[in-house]
Structure 1
Amino acid sequence: MSFKEDEMLIMPAVDIKNGKCVQLVQGEPGSEMVEIDNPELVASHWQDLGAKNIHVIDLDGTIHGKSSFPIIKKILNEVNVPIQVGGGIRDIEYAKQLLDLDIERIIIGTMGIKHPETIEELSDEYGSERIMISLDSKDNKVVIKGWQEKIDKSPVELSAEFKEHGAGSILFTNVDVEGLLGGFYTKPVEDLKKSVDIPIVYSGGVTTIDDIKLLNKTGVEGVVIGSALYTNKIDLTEALKYQKR
Structure 2
Amino acid sequence: MLIFPAIDIKDGRCVRLQRGNYATAQQVAENALQTAKAFEASGAKWLHMVDLDGAKDAHPVNAPLFFQVVKNTNLKVEVGGGIRRMETIAYYLNGGVSRVILGSAALENHDFAKEAIRTYVEKVAIGIDARNGMVATEGWLNTSSVSYLDFAKEMEQLGAQTLIFTDISRDGMLSGPNIEMLDTLNRSVSCNVIASGGVRNREDIQALRKLGLYGTICGKSLYAGSLTLEDALYAAGGQEDET
Structure 2 length as normaliser, TM-score?
0.93
Partner of 2:20: 27
| Whole-Å separation in 2 of the counterparts to 1:119 and 1:110 | 10
Match of 2:67 among 64, 73, 90: 73
In 1, Cα distance between the equivalents of 2:67 and 2:32? 11
Report the Cα offset of residue 46 of structure 1.
Answer: 0.4
2:71 aligned with 1:90, yes or no? no
| Structure 2 partner of 1:4 | none
Question: Quick check: 19-28 or 188-197, which moved more?
Answer: 19-28
Confirm whether residue 129 of structure 1 aligns to residue 111 of structure 2. no
Where do 4+ consecutive residues of structure 1 move more than 3 Å? Answer: none
Counterpart contact for 1:13–1:55, Cα < 8 Å = yes
**Residue 172 of structure 2 aligns with which residue?**
179
Confirm or deny: 8 A CA contact 1:156 1:192 kept in the other structure: yes
CA drift of 1:75 comes to 0.9
TM-fit CA distance, 1:36: 2.3
> Aligned residue for 2:224?
231
Q: In the aligned structure 1, how far is the partner of 2:228 from the partner of 2:237?
A: 17
User: Sequence identity, in percent?
Assistant: 30
Deviations 1:91-117 (A, max 9, x none): 222122112222211000011111111
1:106 aligns with 2:100: yes
The number of aligned residues is: 237
Unmatched 5+ stretches in structure 2:
239-243
Give deviations 1:167-212, integer Å, cap 9, x for gaps: 2210000101111111132110011001100100000100111111
Cα pair 1:142 1:154 within 8 Å, conserved: yes
Query: For 2:129, what is the secondary structure of its paired residue?
Result: strand
Unpaired stretches in structure 1, ≥5 consecutive residues: 1-7
Partner residue of 1:115? 109
Amino acid at match of 1:197: S
Code of the residue aligned with 1:43 in structure 2: it is A
Q: In 1, are the aligned partners of 2:135 and 2:148 still within 8 Å (CA)? A: yes
User: Are 2:38 and 1:45 equivalent residues in the alignment?
Assistant: yes
Say whether the 8 Å CA contact 2:129–2:165 is kept in structure 1: yes
Using the alignment, how far apart are the partners of 1:13 and 1:186 within structure 2? 20
For residues 106-142 of structure 1, what are the alpha-carbon distances to aligned partners after superposition, in whole Å with 9 as ceiling and x for unaligned? 000011111111122222222x111100101111111
The residue aligned with 2:50 is 57
Instruction: Give TM-score scaled by structure 1 length.
Output: 0.92
Verify the 8 A CA contact 1:89 1:108 in the aligned structure 2: yes
Q: Which of the pair is proportionally richer in strand?
A: 2
